Structure 1
Amino acid sequence: MSLKVLHLADIHMGIENYGRLDPETGLHTRLQDFVGCLSFAVDTALEENVGLVLFSGDAYRTCDPNPTHQREFAAQFCRFSDEGIPVVMVVGNHDNPVSFGKASSIDIFG
């Protein structure tokens, strides 16, 4: 019996150096690019019947992402939960706050 694992890391959602606001959605076009790529990875993983997802950190550009970035990231990862696929997340250096005792940007996922 084999186990298919999807390994993701370094998404850095929130980098908006280039692009513009999409007048139809109100979202930055770079955010839409990041979400589109992540969605493609999730779609492929679900089609391939992965049994485990390992996320190795750096979900966002900074350790204090805005709520829109959090919503878009969570929407994709919730698709794994909806299918009963376990997700293991490791905190990356971009996820970790500088101050001791503060929550990381991915602590909300348990």
Structure 2
Amino acid sequence: MSGVNVRPAASDVPNGKTGGPAAPRLDPVSADKVAKEFESMIVGQMMESMFAGLESSGTFGGGGPAEKPWRSFMLQEYGKAIAEAGTLGIGRMVREEVARLYAQQAETAS
């Protein structure tokens, strides 16, 4: 395929350069989603540790073999609710760190 220009024009590349990788772009919606998912996972894990030593309660009918997985599901949902409320600030810190890293990568790419 000689004579065919396969390099994109500068206007087609996000950072305006045609030879190197495009600068990473931060999507605020995606960053928020990832930050909330991370916070949800962390809070859920903390709650799993908190509830690990507790005996069965009447919440799920007095225990039994099915209580452990259902308790885990319940704690995961609690973690999601706490993350959605944003009261701990873990998601906010993660989002800020992701934004800082993207900005740093954009500076080194340009």
TM-score of the aligned structures, taking structure 2 as reference length: 0.28
Normalized per residue, the structure richer in helix is: 2
Larger Cα Rg: Structure 1 or Structure 2?
2
